[in-house]
Amino acid sequence: MRRAQRIAHLRPYFFAQVGARIRELQAQGVRVLRMDIGAPDGPPPPFVIETLIRRAQEPNVHAYSPYGGIPEYREAWAQYYRQRFGVHLDPQREVLGLIGSKEGIFHLTQALVDPGDVVLIPDPGYLTYTGAARIAGAEIYFLPLKEEHDFFPDLDAIPEEVARRARILWLNYPNNPTGAAATREQLQRALEFARRYDVLVAHDAPYVDVTLEPDVRPLSILELPGSREVAVEFNSLSKRANMAGWRLGAALGNEAAIQALHTYKSQVDSSHFRPMMEAGAVALTDPRMEAWLEQRNAVYRQRRDLILAHLPQLNMTARLPVAGMYVWARLPQGWDSMTYARRLLEEAGVSITPGVVFGPHGEGYVRISLGTATEIVEEALNRMVQWWRSCV
């Protein structure tokens, strides 16, 4: 069976490959401790689950839902943005429900990018930005995220001829994998770049409510004046409310981009089960979410601090991540990230993510997820220390 040329060069998704190897090890009796996937380990708030159960028992909720989400779901996103960021959005024209933000990220590229157009992608960065651009036939220009630049791209270093051919600039803050949070000044520079070169800024922001420092308040790019002229933002309930498997997300902002995405999606998919969207609306607007978020984030903070405390014993260092679900740790000199992660998995039964998976500038780092039960984090760190001592 011949593959289409647009996917012939694609490799299987990295985490699918790792998952297959982990299953092989488990079949051999190895108890693998996973700190690679960025998925919350806890359930959503009980009042969200209760909403789903109650509404799913109603006889009149099992038909197809409207494309782009039921009005209540889109309005809930608009209400959340008003309360959280002071941003006023038209729920029918500037908000679009997604089957998880990942599919929206992929489909936006297909809706806006022609073969030969340039897509500006952070390196290291989320794998879907690159996969979507390649399938669209785009030319990819990687933007290095360097520690000395606070993991924000140097937009002034983009060649003029590249900038003029660019269609989308991807940003992601709080950042996966580095844990950096963007400042208002940094986001403002991105908007100015977009206006100068007629580029859409696509800001991927699923971690805005995963804060690891009490005084940190991650920004929405839509807070900045004039942003909706050149920016669209992706958000999700996967990280905010531990609802990764529910696949509930949204695209918000620039009306032209939202409508192009809506047109494309209407050819590809339908919509979610109504009770799921109604439960998602509760996760966005219920006042009880604030206390729940505070408790959940405190657990992540404890795990982050535990990992950081063990890094010196592993001859590794890391900047303090202020938001998100990851510690981005610099490896000891002489190690490449694929070898380190492979040996750690095979020899110690601990799975973390090699930094080079996220792009060439991720080499020399590994990503350690906070989405694992605290007692397993402790056990994994102890295994890592013992393994490292056997290596030196």
Q: Cβ–Cβ contacts within 10 Å for residue 201, how many?
A: 24
Q: Can you give the pLDDT at residue 19?
A: 86
Write the CATH number of the domain with boundaries 59-285.
3.40.640.10
- Residues 329, 318: contact at Cβ < 8 Å? yes
**pLDDT surpassing 80 at residue 204:** yes
Coil, strand or helix at 253: strand
Say what the pTM is: 0.94
Nearest to 249, CA basis, from 292, 206, 201, 202: 206
Distance of CA 305 to the CA centre of its chain: 22
pLDDT tens readout for residues 170-201 = 999 999 999 999 999 999 999 999 999 999 99
CA distances (Å), 327 to each of 69, 249, 337, in order? 34, 24, 14
pLDDT tens readout for residues 315-363 = 999 999 999 999 999 999 999 999 999 999 999 999 999 999 999 999 9
- Residues 192, 155: contact at Cβ < 8 Å? no
Q: Can you give the pLDDT at residue 18?
A: 85
Kindly report, as residue ranges, where domains of CATH 3.40.640.10 are found in the chain. 59-285
CA pair distance 169, 254, nearest whole angstrom: 14
Write the CATH number of the domain with boundaries 5-44+290-391.
3.90.1150.10
Burial of 134 from C-beta contacts in 10 A (0-12 / 13-18 / 19+): middle
> Taken in order 130, 131, 136, 138, is the CA torsion positive or negative?
positive
**pLDDT surpassing 80 at residue 12:** no
pLDDT tens readout for residues 262-298 = 999 999 988 999 999 999 999 999 999 999 999 999 9
pLDDT tens readout for residues 241-252 = 999 999 999 999
CA triplet 128, 129, 135: central angle to 5 degrees? 80
Burial of 311 from C-beta contacts in 10 A (0-12 / 13-18 / 19+): middle
